[in-house]
Structures are given as C-alpha cells and as structure tokens.
C-alpha cells in the first residue's frame, strides 16, 4: 500500500511538472511571437531578425539584409494571442491577425514562419518562412 501511495505521488509530481512545463513553453512561444510583431511595428528590423530561426533569416535576407527585408514583408500589426499549441520542438501561436510557427532552439523559441494564412488541407502560406 505504501508503495502504491509513493507511485501515485510520483505520478502526480510528474504530471504537474509536465503540465507546468507545457504552460511555461506556451507562454514563452506566445511572448516571442508577439515580440516579432512589436519589433516590426516599431521599425526595429534588427530586433525582429534576432528572433528568427537561422534558416528563416537566410531566406528573408536573400536580396537585402534581413533587418531591412523583414520590414518589407507586410507582416500584420501586433494583435492579441488567441491560441498557442506546443508539441515537442514546435509551437504554433494564433494571433488575432496572424499565425506564427516557432521552433525550439538552445536559447529558446525562434520564429520559423510568420505572416501565415491557412490553405484548405494544405500547409499555411507564409510571407516569412525558411526554405
């Protein structure tokens, strides 16, 4: 009986830790997604590029430096977070006027794609995304 109680306690600790960890990760992803829009809205291309994934920076900076190019991508103005989903190394943040996809990197979440509009049964069409 004592062993069963210990196992139940261990499971609860694990479950609560798991839930709070998911909650923290969702909050962090939402914060990065809103920071991207705020940076672009403020005309701070360097700050926006600093939170893009390396592959996305490369793609954005194809013709001109990333800090200038990102400001020309017609990203929507900052909005409120509607829903955040985190699964493993990926996150999706749905904002009032945009959907942002993020990947997990050693320093935290980075934006892989933004300015995304849904396509029926197909991947989102994004104005900012990696190759």
Partner 1 sequence: MKRFVRDNAIGLVFGLLFLIVLIGQAFAGLAVFNEMQRGTGLPDVSFWRYVTSASFGADVAENWQSEYLQFFLFIMLTVWLLQKGSPESKALDKPGRETDEEQKIGRFADDDSPKWARTGGWRTRIFSSSLGLVMGLIFLGSWFAQSVAGVAAFNEEQLSELQDPVSWGQYLLAADFWDRTLQNWQSELLAVASMAILAIYLRQRGSSQSKPVGAPHDATGVEG
The residues binding partner 1 (CB under 8 A) are: 53-56, 85, 87-92, 101, 103-106, 112-113, 116, 118, 122-124, 126, 129-131
| CA dist., res. 116 & res. 101, Å (int) | 8
| CA dist., res. 58 & res. 6, Å (int) | 51
Question: Integer distance in angstroms from the first to the last C-alpha of the chain?
Answer: 56
> CB of residue 88 vs partner 1: minimum separation in angstroms?
4
Residue with tokens 């829903």: 83
Cα-based distances in Å from 46 to 5, 19, 21, 34, 53: 54, 34, 30, 15, 13
Residue nearer to partner 1 on the CB measure, 39 or 112: 112
> CB of residue 28 vs partner 1: minimum separation in angstroms?
15
> CB of residue 42 vs partner 1: minimum separation in angstroms?
26
Residue nearer to partner 1 on the CB measure, 65 or 123: 123
> CB of residue 31 vs partner 1: minimum separation in angstroms?
18
Residue nearer to partner 1 on the CB measure, 33 or 113: 113
Residue nearer to partner 1 on the CB measure, 31 or 44: 31
| CA dist., res. 62 & res. 129, Å (int) | 12
| CA dist., res. 36 & res. 20, Å (int) | 25
């Amino acid at each position: 009986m004592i062993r069963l109680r210990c196992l139940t306690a261990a499971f609860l600790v694990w479950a609560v830790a798991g839930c709070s960890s998911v909650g923290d990760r969702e909050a962090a992803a939402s914060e990065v997604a809103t920071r991207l829009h705020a940076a672009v809205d403020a005309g701070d291309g360097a700050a926006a590029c600093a939170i893009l994934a390396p592959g996305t920076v490369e793609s954005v900076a194809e013709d001109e430096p990333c800090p200038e190019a990102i400001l020309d991508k017609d990203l929507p103005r900052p909005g409120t977070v509607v829903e955040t989903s985190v699964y493993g190394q990926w996150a999706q943040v749905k904002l009032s006027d945009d959907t942002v996809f993020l990947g997990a990197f050693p320093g935290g979440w980075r934006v892989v794609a933004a300015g995304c509009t849904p396509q029926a049964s197909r991947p989102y069409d994004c104005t900012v995304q990696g190759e």
